[in-house]
Amino acid sequence: MATIKHTSSKNSDLSAAERYLTFQHNEYTGLPILDSDGKPKLRENYLLDTLECGENTFAMACLLANRKYGKNGNPSDAKTHHYIISFDPRDATDNDLTLEKAQALGLQFCKENFPGHPAIVCAHPDGHNGAGNIHVHIVIGSLRIREVERQPHMEKPCDWQEGCKHRCTAAMLRHLRTEVMELCQNAGLYQIDLLKGSGDRITEREYWAQRRGQRRLDYANAKDTASGLPIRQTKYETEKAALRKNIRSVLRKATNLEDFTAQLLQEHGITISESRGRFSYHTADRTKPITSRKLGDDFSKEQVLIALAENTERQKTSALRRIDPNPDKVSRLIDIQAKLASGKGAGYERWAKVFNLKQLSKSAALLSEHGVHTEAELLDKISRFKAESSEALAVVKDLETRIDENRERSRHVLAYLQNRKIAQQAKTAKAPETFREQHRAELTAYQAAAAYFKAHNIQKLPSLKRLKVEREELISEKAQFYQKYREAHKAWLDLSTAQQNLEALHRAEGRSDMTRGGLHELDKGRCPR
């Protein structure tokens, strides 16, 4: 479940980012933690690398770029961009995620998505939220120092030209979220769908407000406990968090907008206003309303209306299920005589007879739907759907194998292209051992890619774009065959159940085959005795 977060900085002190990454800082104040001599304390454990900086530090590389292109001179200019990839805490134990592996993934991500920008990549072993999750900081200079190859997510020439500034647009963020999901999938890490909107949109300010509030509350509770006073509250809630909870409590039970609005006002004193198709929520203790965008996607007009419609449908479905718990499922008939012999009473017998009548009716409707009139036709249908189900499942598994092979090939092609220049430089380096040690990760990836191509007898390097198109086609084809498999599998199971019901009916009536009386006996609603 890796997540990615972005912030930009207007700080003219370009070395501040590196100091933050390498020295300890107070979580609440952001100030550096000093040792007994009054000097900043280094972090106990971290890994840091730079990219596109040459022989210079990150700060110097950014400063030289600013002077070369005559940009970032105004206080309002964004000097750097800061991206944080946070991995799931479980990845360390379940998926063998180490600090070294996280750093390698961060370097790979930075090379692929921020080429041409001076960058710092730094991996930390735990987050400031106490979750113990490994995370990677990627800080890039806003100016691109060389022209790069245009990628599909790049919209304008300034996104790939030299001397232009990095733009963190909605399209760029969507691309980065996709890349994070792909990164986790390839590395075998936990992941979530980052492309879906955030149900609760918690800003940096709200996060720290909650942390500070919880700290004050814990301190006050400790004092009350020492004084023997009762503790009334243990968890601090921000104003927005409380508002989200109240809205959700009403949204779970309301069935239309009028009902939703009335219950919010009556139960929590919250009023709703609408402007430009967007909801805003006004509490009694605020002078200004809080927009749905600040609360999260779950509180937008569109999502509220969807939730209300789902509540209405759920109520209808619940009413139907009280009449028939499984309206679309054909179930096997109950052996009433066996149940009575085991101790069931007359009430159960009456219920079981009604249940069997319903299942016989469902079986008859199912056979009519599939055009089945004889036992031979039924057996043929069952055999055919079973074969279709097996064939579709085999195709799905084959496509999954091909998709995995495509992803592996794409990964090796990308690693080969990214590190080919470094591999060539290693051959002519004045200090080859030192050079190889400095670029050990890149050279390892390059060698692994070359070995892969040799093992698979690949003479010409495949195109990444062609591989991507091929992968998308395979995924689409897999979805189609999986749908075929589900439909055929369901039809096979339903018809097999209907066959068992017919056999049970014939045994109860003393018949030896289906042809006697035909399947139309089911239409009479006769129940096995």
pLDDT of residue 81: 95
Classify residue 22 by burial, with Cβ atoms within 10 Å: 0-12, 13-18, 19+: middle
329 — alpha (psi -120 to 50), left (phi > 0) or beta?
A: beta
Q: How does DSSP classify residue 40?
A: B
Give yes or no for a contact between 290 and 304, defined as CB atoms under 8 angstroms apart: no
pLDDT of residue 199: 66
Which residues, at least 6 apart from 241, have a Cβ–Cβ distance to it below 8 Å? Answer: 206, 210
The mean per-residue pLDDT over the stretch 471-488 comes to 88
The mean per-residue pLDDT over the stretch 292-299 comes to 85
For residue 524, pLDDT over 50 is answered with no
The predicted-structure confidence for 208-223, as pLDDT tens digits, reads as follows: 788 788 888 888 888 8
Give the residue, 2 or 448, on which the prediction is more confident. 448
Helix (H) or strand (E) holding 131: none
For residue 350, pLDDT over 70 is answered with yes
Tokens standing for residue 482: 């999986």
Q: How far is residue 330's CA from residue 358's CA, in Å, rounded to a whole number?
A: 9
pLDDT of residue 128: 57
Q: Give the strand order in the sheet containing 47-51.
A: 3-9, 80-86, 135-141, 119-124, 47-51
N-term to C-term CA, the chain: 56
pLDDT of residue 526: 42
Q: How far is residue 86's CA from residue 186's CA, in Å, rounded to a whole number?
A: 16
Residue with tokens 């890039």: 140
pLDDT of residue 522: 43
Percent of the chain past pLDDT 70, that is, above it, reads 89
The gap from C-alpha 415 to its chain's centroid, in whole angstroms, comes to: 25
Torsion angle of alpha carbons 225, 229, 230, 235, nearest 10°? -50
Q: 3-196 has which CATH code?
A: 3.30.930.30
Burial 248-272 (b: 16+ CB within 10 A, else e): eebbeebbeeeebeebbeeebebeb
Torsion angle of alpha carbons 493, 495, 496, 497, nearest 10°? 90
pLDDT confidence band for 529 (50 / 70 / 90): very low
- Listed by start position, the domains of the chain span 3-196, 205-320, 378-509
pLDDT of residue 102: 93
**What contacts 24+ positions apart, CB below 8 Å, involve 215-222?**
215/28
The gap from C-alpha 404 to its chain's centroid, in whole angstroms, comes to: 19
Q: How far is residue 409's CA from residue 239's CA, in Å, rounded to a whole number?
A: 50
pLDDT of residue 59: 93
The mean per-residue pLDDT over the stretch 98-104 comes to 93
Give yes or no for a contact between 6 and 81, defined as CB atoms under 8 angstroms apart: yes
Position 89: which residue type? P
* Residue 40 backbone dihedrals phi, psi, to 5 degrees: -60, 140
Q: How far is residue 142's CA from residue 76's CA, in Å, rounded to a whole number?
A: 13
For residue 519, pLDDT over 50 is answered with no
Tell me the three state secondary structure of residue 9.
strand
Which is it for strands 135-141 and 80-86: parallel, antiparallel or unpaired? antiparallel
Percent of the chain past pLDDT 90, that is, above it, reads 23
The predicted-structure confidence for 172-225, as pLDDT tens digits, reads as follows: 888 888 888 888 888 888 876 565 666 666 776 777 788 788 888 888 888 888
pLDDT, averaged across the chain = 84
Give yes or no for a contact between 141 and 77, defined as CB atoms under 8 angstroms apart: no
pLDDT of residue 325: 54
For the chain, what's the residue count?
Answer: 529
The predicted-structure confidence for 111-147, as pLDDT tens digits, reads as follows: 999 999 999 999 998 765 555 689 999 999 999 999 9
Give yes or no for a contact between 319 and 255, defined as CB atoms under 8 angstroms apart: no
Give a three-class secondary structure readout of 225-292: HHHCCCCCCCCCCCHHHHHHHHHHHHHCCCCCHHHHHHHHHHHHCCEEEEECCEEEEECCCCCCCEEH
For residue 331, pLDDT over 90 is answered with no
Q: How far is residue 18's CA from residue 294's CA, in Å, rounded to a whole number?
A: 31
User: Within 13 Å, how many C-alpha atoms sit on residue 47's CB side?
Assistant: 15
pLDDT of residue 113: 93
Torsion angle of alpha carbons 442, 443, 447, 450, nearest 10°? 60
For residue 29, pLDDT over 80 is answered with no
CB atoms within 10 A of CB 125: 17
Give a three-class secondary structure readout of 154-211: CCCHHHCCCCCECCCCHHHHHHHHHHHHHHHHHHCCCCCCCCCCCCCCCCHHHHHHHH
pLDDT confidence band for 387 (50 / 70 / 90): very high
Q: Shortest CA distance to 373 belongs to which of 510, 525, 512, 522?
A: 522
Tokens standing for residue 82: 């800061």
